[in-house]
Amino acid sequence: MRRWTKRIAITLAIVLIVGSIASYWAVQQTKVVPEFYAKATNLLPVQTREASERLQHDVEKFQSDVGRLGSWSAAFSDAEINAWLIEELPKRFPRLLAKGMNDPRIVIEDDCVLVAARYQDRRFDTIISFEVEVELTEEANMLALRLKNLRAGALPMPLNKFLKGITREAARGDVDVKWDMTQAGPIALVNVPREHPGYVASPVIVESVRLVDGVLLLAGHTGSLAEQVFTPRGPVHQFVSYNPRRNRQESTAIR
């Protein structure tokens, strides 16, 4: 009996030690700062207000260009986007700050955007990061966003547990997110608005989205023929679980 008691006690002690080591390791992993996050912070423009205003001016010009008949294109740098996030995000999205998210940064690489932000509450102080790959789809103006490598510091996190939260928060910003469930993971499907009260002409159709070392490049056409002759330029995501026809029928029924 004593021998069994001793074995049980030793086993419990080993479990507690291993559990403590695992917990300590996990906590330490959450404290790791991604290299790209530190790099993006170091490369911020000295005058973030001026850089943010330049981006705002470029966006306004872009909105004016896409609202006219014909072809259009635009380029936005990650440095200016980061400056805008610093200056404008707290004013426009105070809800994120209230939830403990602050200091967001992005880095645009070839075919990929690295995204990160600091998350703080009473228990944690960590950098949440993930990667985004963007593809067009067979449906005009529907973008497929592949989210992957979600981490808290260096600790991997299961993306599937956050899908409802992502959908809910996006809806609060008037962005309708649908999910295409694939073997490689969930794909967020997001529609780019085709019309706007300020546009002289419509619809606005996106034909190309490119990510090239620090720059987001967009191109497309505006006008009644643009949608009819829509041909995506670049990689095209093939739907797996998402059914475009069923979605159109549901949208029509709601109206």
- SS3 of the chain: CHHHHHHHHHHHHHHHHHHHHHHHHHHHHHCCCCHHHHHHHHCCCCCHHHHHHHHHHHHHHHHHHHCCCEEEEEEEEHHHHHHHHHHHHHHHCHHHHHCCEEEEEEEEECCEEEEEEEEECCCCEEEEEEEEEEEEECCCCEEEEEEEEEEECCEECCHHHHHHHHHHHHHHCCCCEEEEEECCEEEEEEECCCCCCCCCCCCEEEEEEEEECCEEEEEEEECHHHHHCCCCCCCEECCCCCCHHHHHHHHHHHC
- What's the pLDDT at 20? 38
Q: Which pLDDT score, from 0 to 100, does residue 13 have?
A: 38
Tell me, yes or no, whether 107 lies in a domain: yes
Q: Tell me, yes or no, whether 12 lies in a domain.
A: no
Residues of the chain under the 70 pLDDT cut:
1-29, 246-255
Residue 22 within a domain:
no
- pLDDT score at 252: 47
Residue 61 sits at φ, ψ, to 5 deg, of -65, -40
In a domain, 25, yes or no: no
Q: Is residue 100 part of a domain?
A: yes
What's the total number of domains in the chain? 1
Residue 23 in any domain: the answer is: no
Longest dimension (CA), the chain: 88
Beta bridge partners of 71: 221
Is pTM beyond 0.85? Reply is no
Question: What token pair was written down for 163?
Answer: 């899908």
What are the φ/ψ torsions at residue 204 (nearest 5 degrees)?
Answer: -95, 120
The whole-number pLDDT of residue 92 equals: 79
95 part of a folded domain = yes
- The crossing angle, in degrees rounded to 10, of helices 48-66 and 78-92 is 90
Domain that holds residue 217: 30-254
Residue 216 pairs with which residues in a beta bridge?
Answer: 76, 211
Specify the pLDDT at position 206. Answer: 96
Name residue 216's amino acid.
L
Q: Is residue 243 part of a domain?
A: yes
pLDDT at position 107: 96
82-121 pLDDT, tens digit per residue, is 999 998 888 877 877 777 888 999 999 999 999 999 988 8
